[in-house]
């Protein structure tokens, strides 16, 4: 037999490194292990989407045509965001699929909650029990006792639709331990809560994060930043830590944590002084008239007067002052300002997590950073920065229910009216205060005991059935929180589920389609499936079908008006199928897709199943300048333009919203002192600033423990400490350090490194996974066996009994594990720090460092939750509760997930 020709790589030509789509159904490779024999391996290549971070890069699953197994994952060259490239976490999806420790069947608690006794149940039993309980709660008017708490969403719009169909204000997210802060900073300028950076066309790039390795939309952004650098762009990175990103930069500014807004305002001052600003843009698009009227009422209402007012406002922010305040060289500030000025409209930037997520008032870092774009007019320009929504495509979902009219005080307490997302970090405290209770609580790809601050307070409420009646953990892996569930329901990883998503990776819009690889490959082989779990490993389900079927169990006869939203359009006596659901979406709400599909003789669903993604539009710039109707737009120089999403439809230097809701001093871009302000610390003694939130590029928050490829690369997280501090405090690399916070302490190992500024210590946040039984509660690739002991009322200790060891399983690699250190969970020892404006948890900690004593063990975490309550109450006092000037709970124009009707906003 003649072997089929294998395509050759063509140097200098793009995409030839990838199998062409016309060959995806029968791709042939020589078996490397069989060499010198020429043995063919035949594959069916099925596109799907990575689920291991928020970037949603395309993947191609290589399905062995002989065995039906997935042999590996590579990049999908047809995906417009990732363009065939992935980080290490994408291909590691294979480990998650074939992890011998994964949960394959639904489990129900047998003993007391947290005792770790489980029995296997059928999906039907689980659905009937959970759905029946939810139906009862809804019938009895207890909708607020149902809560869906999501970690990594990985989908756009399906749960919004589901919660609306249930009539429940129960959406809870992880956002206020992640990004609420920066979102508020951006939203107060433009009404859009995230930036969309056109990195590939930029001349100067300013990053307030470790963006090249771990930032938001990390791989899609990193590849475009590198393109810009290859074309000559300069890059500045602000980070107290010498991240991999900082090491690739032209300017590394190692600032004191929380002082970054001062640095940006010093740059703003220089731009104003040099007149390196786009006056035309500012005159057209900044609310300068209102700003003058409210902030400088005695000035002439002229643009020049505004310009002078800006200069006066920021006059004290000299480079020399900012250098002193931030701990950098004044010449660095001038150099970066010059780079921004020279780039003009081709100045791009990004911030995510980093200072915004670390500091009290961190939202002003994003607000002052965006100020630099407003001044230079690099808003919506080629090579500049656009609002997120311009680069994100949101399809309409099928048969969309109307908004509900409820307001859940457990999620949106009146003390935090401007919080960008739900006050999820406060849930244990609000439950303890008796502000409500939960009858059915879903954690969905979320692990708050481990991931959130103050995990022992979570443990206390999750083990109290008067506060949490039923806890259902929907998760692809074991996790520390699932241990305290009543049901542990295994959900699919990237190759086992349907989802759609779109993110602002560049100046374009695209839609990605995640799909269950085994099911799609089986269907191409002529098999039929009723539900995805019939094709997946074990009985691993996908959530789309789970929520549809659960909704039927909540309302089996349609009496509650819920079932109708989940009935098949072709046969209402059965649930809608995923083909019907996504088929409608692709047919009816994705511009250009039906035509592109028809050109290939496909229907839109078949097109998306074939390619896994579709580019809806590209080269999207200056949307604010588009013409629109008088009802929708704003008049600018006698033309009706689209503008922005703020109340004024302009970019708001002065925010009437902030002023009206009690934050007058903060209503303009300004600098706020952090709770870890360096001048307030006893640096001469043993106090230091702890940065506990940087990511490693090769680990996922809590879902990479079973990814052996990743853990073999990254399996340590020591405490970074500058030799100046290490010498002053007497630490050598490897010494056990006792780190004391406001509520407890923990023990880590020191690592002396010049890669962090003196006065600041840091440890990445991935590690410290644990299990409470030898062979249950977590996978053994990454977790320590621990003892969780209650030392007294509110006093807890987690102690490691043993670290990581090889173990026997179906995967021979598990007996070859050579890494030993499980790391330490720091988050347990952090109290909640809710920023009074953004609601964001301010992660950074003021800590004292001392040598661990003879009674202390590596990995010990000791916490007093009575102190947690005290710190919560202290921070609560900083809040300025609503209602606002119009009697509402929250400004109507600010976005919020699963937005209710306007009635619900009235207090
Ligand atoms: S950046 Fe990496 S982890 Fe994130 S979606 Fe892309 S491949 Fe997956």
- Predicted confidence (pLDDT) at residue 14 exceeds the cutoff of 80: no
Q: What is the DSSP letter of 756?
A: B
Per the structure block, which two tokens stand in for 390? Answer: 């311009």
The β-bridge partners of 795 are 792, 864
pLDDT at 217: 83
Q: How far apart are the CA of 55 and the centre of ligand 1, in A?
A: 6
The answer to whether 649 touches 635, Cβ cutoff 8 Å, is no
pLDDT band at 9 (very low <50, low <70, confident <90, very high): very low
DSSP helix/strand/coil, 654? coil
Could you give the 3-state DSSP secondary structure of residue 746?
strand
Q: State whether the beta carbon of 378 lies less than 6 angstroms from ligand 1.
A: no
What mean pLDDT is reported for the chain?
Answer: 95
Q: Are 161 and 401 in contact (CB under 8 A)?
A: yes
The better pLDDT of the pair 163, 704 is held by 163
The minimum-distance atom of ligand 1 relative to the CA of 219 is 1
Are the C-beta atoms of 809 and 100 separated by less than 8 Å?
Answer: yes
Provide the pLDDT for residue 273: 98
What is the DSSP secondary-structure string of 686-720? TEEEEE--PPPTT--SSS-TT-HHHHHH-----EE
Find how far residue 232's CA is from the centre of its chain.
31
d(CA 623, CA 390): 7
Best residue for ligand 1 mutational test, from 212, 219, 224 (most atoms within 8 Å of Cβ):
219
Reading the block at residue 687, the tokens are 């106090």
Given a contact cutoff of 8 angstroms between Cβ atoms, the answer to whether 96 and 706 are in contact is yes
Please state, in angstroms and rounded to a whole number, the distance separating the CA atoms of residues 268 and 668: 13
Report, as an integer, the average pLDDT of 315-328: 98
Contact 770, 778 (CB under 8 A): yes
Answer with the residue of higher pLDDT: 702 or 58. 58
- According to the model, what pLDDT value does residue 209 have? 87
Residues 6+ apart with CB under 8 A from 723: 752, 753, 754
Q: What is the pLDDT of residue 705?
A: 86
Q: Is the pLDDT of residue 11 over 60?
A: no
The reply to whether ligand 1 has any atom less than 6 angstroms from the CB of 90 is: yes
- Of 56, 83, 85, 87, which is best to mutate to test ligand 1, by the most ligand atoms within 8 angstroms of its C-beta? 87
Ligand 1 center to 570 CA (angstroms) = 37
Atom of ligand 1 nearest to the CA of 90: 7
Nearest Cα neighbor of 224 from 17, 505, 15, 12 is 505
Q: What is the pLDDT of residues 530-568, one digit of tens each?
A: 999 999 999 999 999 999 999 999 999 999 999 999 999
Tokens read off for 156: 């756009």
Beta bridge pairs of residue 475: 490
Provide, rounded to the nearest whole percent, the portion of the chain with pLDDT above 70: 98
Is the pLDDT reported for residue 882 higher than 90? Answer: yes
- Specify the residue with its C-alpha closest to ligand 1, atom 6: 57
Rounded to an integer, the average pLDDT of 152-171 is 96
The answer to whether residues 624 and 513 touch, using CB atoms and an 8 Å cutoff, is: no
Residue 57 has pLDDT above 90, yes or no: yes
503 touches ligand 1 (CB under 6 Å):
no
What totals of helices (H) and strands (E) does the chain contain, helices first?
Answer: 27, 32
Residue 81 CB less than 6 A away from ligand 1: no
C-alpha separations of 262 from 208, 314, 594, 843, 870 in Å: 13, 10, 50, 20, 31
Nearest-10 crossing angle of helices 330-343, 319-326: 120
**Residue 827: pLDDT over 80:** yes
Q: What is the dihedral of CA 319, 289, 364, 902, to 10 degrees?
A: -170
Mutate to test the pocket of ligand 1, among 58, 82, 211, 510 (most ligand atoms within 8 A of CB): 82
Q: What is the 3-state secondary structure (H, E, C) of 124-156?
A: HHHHHHHHHHHHHHHHCCCHHHEEEEECCCCCC
Q: Measured from the CB, is residue 696 less than 6 Å from ligand 1?
A: no
Please write the tens of the pLDDT for every residue from 413-425: 999 999 999 999 9
Q: Say what the pLDDT of residue 17 is.
A: 74
Between β-strands 58-64 and 770-771, what pairing exists: parallel, antiparallel or unpaired?
unpaired
Strand order in the sheet with 107-109: 118-120, 107-109, 487-490, 468-475, 438-444, 146-150, 171-172
d(CA 176, CA 207): 21
Q: Confirm if 796 and 789 have CB atoms less than 8 A apart.
A: yes
**7 pLDDT exceeds 80?**
no
Taking residues 838-861, what's their average pLDDT? 98
Question: Are 179 and 357 a contacting pair, CB within 8 Å?
Answer: yes
Burial degree of 140 (CB within 10 A; 0-12, 13-18, 19+): exposed
Q: Is 394 exposed, middle or buried (0-12, 13-18, 19+ CB in 10 A)?
A: middle
Summarize pLDDT for 19-49 with one digit per residue, the tens. Answer: 889 999 999 888 889 999 989 999 999 999 9
Q: How far is CA 788 from CA 115, 140, 775, 805, 855, in A?
A: 12, 38, 16, 20, 17
Check residue 353 and give its pLDDT: 85
Mean pLDDT over 193-208 rounds to: 97
222 Cβ closer than 6 Å to some ligand 1 atom: no
The pLDDT score that the predictor gives to residue 3 is: 41
Predicted confidence (pLDDT) at residue 5 exceeds the cutoff of 50: no
694, with CB counted inside 10 A (0-12, 13-18, 19+), is buried
Q: Are 284 and 290 in contact (CB under 8 A)?
A: no
Phi-psi region of 117 (alpha: psi -120 to 50; beta: other; left: phi over 0): beta
Q: Are 326 and 259 in contact (CB under 8 A)?
A: yes
Higher pLDDT pick, 59 / 218: 59
Residue that the structure tokens 């690699």 belong to: 813
Mean of pLDDT values over 146-158: 94
Q: How many Å lie between the centroid of ligand 1 and the Cα of residue 223?
A: 12
- Residues 500 and 156 sit within 8 Å (Cβ to Cβ): yes
Instruction: Average the pLDDT over each of 688-702, 784-798, 831-845 and give the range with the smallest value.
Output: 688-702
Q: How far apart are CA 409 and CA 407, in angstroms?
A: 6
Task: Please choose, from the candidates 767, 840, 835, 838, the residue with its C-alpha nearest in 3D space to the C-alpha of residue 174.
Answer: 840
Look-up of token digits 């002053």:
728
Cα(139)–Cα(10) distance, integer angstroms: 65
Mean pLDDT in residue range 259-284: 98
Tokens 């990732």 belong to 82
Work out the pLDDT band at 12, boundaries 50, 70, 90: very low
> Would you state the pLDDT for residue 494?
95
C-beta 205 within 6 A of ligand 1: no
Q: What are phi and psi of 660, to 5 degrees?
A: -65, -25
**pLDDT score at 16:** 58
Categorise residue 494: left if φ over 0, alpha if ψ from -120 to 50, beta otherwise: alpha
Answer whether 79 contacts ligand 1 (Cβ < 6 A).
no
90 Cα to the center of ligand 1, angstroms: 5
Q: Is the pLDDT of residue 777 over 80?
A: yes
Predicted pLDDT of residue 352: 84
Gyration radius of the chain over CA positions:
27
Which pLDDT tens digit goes with each residue over 489-511?
999 999 999 999 999 999 999 99
CA of 710 to the centre of ligand 1 (A): 13
Does 92 score more than 60 pLDDT?
yes
Rounded Cα distance between 232 and 550, Å, is: 54
The Cα–Cα gap between 249 and 227 comes to: 14
């Amino acid at each position: 037999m003649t072997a089929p020709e294998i395509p050759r790589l063509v140097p200098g030509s793009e995409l030839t490194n990838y199998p062409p789509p016309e060959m995806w159904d029968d791709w042939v490779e020589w078996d490397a292990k069989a060499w010198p024999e020429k043995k063919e391996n035949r594959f069916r290549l099925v596109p799907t989407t990575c689920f291991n971070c928020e970037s949603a890069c395309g993947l191609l699953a290589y399905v062995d045509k002989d065995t039906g197994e997935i042999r590996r994952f590579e990049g999908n060259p047809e995906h417009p965001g990732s363009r065939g490239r992935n980080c290490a976490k994408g291909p590691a999806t294979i480990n998650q699929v074939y992890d011998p420790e994964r949960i394959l069947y639904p489990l129900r608690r047998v003993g007391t909650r947290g005792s770790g006794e489980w029995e296997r149940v059928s999906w039907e039993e689980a659905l009937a029990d959970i759905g029946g309980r939810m139906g009862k709660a809804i019938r009895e008017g207890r909708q607020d006792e149902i809560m869906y708490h999501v970690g990594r969403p990985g989908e756009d719009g399906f749960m919004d639709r589901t919660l609306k169909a249930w009539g429940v204000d129960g959406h809870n997210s992880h956002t206020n331990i992640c990004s609420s802060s920066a979102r508020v900073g951006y939203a107060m300028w433009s009404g859009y809560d995230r930036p969309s950076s056109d990195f590939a066309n930029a001349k100067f790039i300013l990053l307030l994060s470790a963006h090249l390795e771990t930032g938001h939309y990390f791989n899609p952004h990193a590849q475009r930043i590198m393109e810009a650098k290859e074309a000559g762009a300069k890059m500045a990175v602000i980070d107290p830590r010498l991240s991999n990103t900082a090491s690739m930069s032209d300017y590394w500014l190692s600032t004191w944590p929380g002082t970054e807004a001062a640095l940006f305002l010093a740059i703003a001052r220089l731009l104003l002084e040099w007149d390196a600003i786009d006056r035309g843009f500012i005159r057209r698009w900044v609310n300068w008239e209102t700003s003058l009227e409210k902030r400088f009422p005695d000035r002439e209402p002229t643009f020049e007067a505004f310009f002078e007012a800006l200069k006066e406002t920021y006059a004290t922010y000299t480079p020399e002052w900012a250098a002193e305040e931030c701990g950098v060289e004044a010449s660095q500030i001038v150099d970066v300002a010059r780079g921004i000025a020279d780039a003009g409209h081709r100045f791009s930037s990004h911030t995510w997590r980093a200072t915004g997520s670390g500091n009290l008032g961190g939202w002003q870092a994003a607000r002052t950073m965006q100020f630099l774009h407003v001044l230079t007019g690099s808003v919506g320009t080629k090579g500049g920065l656009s609002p997120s929504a311009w680069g994100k495509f949101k399809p309409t979902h099928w048969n969309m229910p109307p908004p509900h009219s409820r307001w859940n005080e457990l999620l949106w307490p009146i003390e935090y009216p401007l919080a960008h997302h739900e006050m999820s970090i406060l849930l244990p405290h609000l439950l303890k205060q008796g502000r409500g209770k939960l009858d059915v609580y879903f954690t969905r790809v979320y692990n708050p005991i481990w991931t959130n601050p103050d995990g022992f307070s979570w443990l206390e409420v999750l083990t109290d059935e008067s506060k949490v009646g039923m806890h259902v953990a929907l998760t692809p892996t074991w996790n520390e929180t699932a241990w305290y569930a009543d049901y542990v329901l295994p959900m699919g990883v990237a190759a086992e589920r349907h989802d759609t998503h779109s993110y602002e990776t560049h100046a374009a819009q695209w839609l990605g389609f995640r799909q269950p690889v085994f099911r799609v490959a089986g269907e191409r082989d002529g098999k039929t499936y009723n539900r995805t779990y019939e094709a997946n490993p074990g009985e691993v389900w996908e959530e789309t079908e789970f929520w549809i079927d659960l909704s039927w169990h909540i309302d089996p006869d349609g009496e509650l008006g819920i079932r109708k939203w989940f009935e098949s359009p072709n046969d209402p006596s059965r649930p809608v199928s995923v083909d019907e659901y996504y088929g409608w979406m692709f047919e009816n709400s994705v511009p250009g897709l039906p035509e592109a599909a028809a050109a290939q003789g496909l229907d839109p669903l078949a097109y998306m199943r074939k390619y896994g993604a579709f580019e809806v539009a590209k080269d999207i710039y200056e949307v604010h300048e588009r013409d629109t109707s008088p009802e929708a737009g704003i008049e600018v120089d006698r033309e009706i333009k689209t503008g922005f999403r703020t109340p004024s439809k302009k970019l708001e230097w002065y925010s009437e919203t902030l002023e009206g809701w009690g934050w007058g001093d903060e209503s303009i871009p300004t600098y706020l002192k952090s709770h870890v302000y360096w001048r307030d610390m006893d640096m001469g003694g043993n106090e230091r600033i702890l940065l506990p939130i940087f990511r490693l590029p090769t680990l996922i928050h809590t879902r990479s423990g079973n990814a052996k490829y990743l853990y073999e690369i990254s399996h340590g997280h020591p405490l970074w400490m500058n030799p100046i501090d290490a010498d002053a405090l007497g630490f050598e690399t490897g010494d056990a350090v006792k780190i004391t916070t406001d509520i407890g302490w923990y023990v880590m190992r020191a690592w002396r490194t010049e890669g962090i500024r003196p006065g600041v210590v840091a440890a990445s946040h991935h590690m410290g996974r644990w299990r409470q039984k030898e062979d249950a509660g977590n996978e053994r690739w990454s977790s320590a066996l621990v003892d969780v002991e209650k030392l007294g009322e509110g006093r807890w200790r987690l102690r490691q009994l043993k670290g990581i060891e090889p173990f026997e399983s179906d995967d021979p690699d598990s007996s070859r594990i050579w890494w030993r250190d499980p790391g330490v969970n720091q988050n347990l020892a952090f109290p909640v720090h809710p920023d009074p404006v953004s609601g964001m948890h301010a992660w950074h900690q003021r800590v004292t460092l001392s040598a661990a004593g003879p009674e202390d063990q590596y990995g010990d975490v000791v916490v007093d939750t009575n102190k947690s309550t005290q710190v919560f109450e202290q921070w609560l006092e900083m809040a300025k509760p609503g209602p606002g000037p119009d009697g509402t709970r929250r400004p109507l124009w600010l976005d919020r997930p699963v937005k209710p009707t306007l009635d619900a906003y009235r207090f």
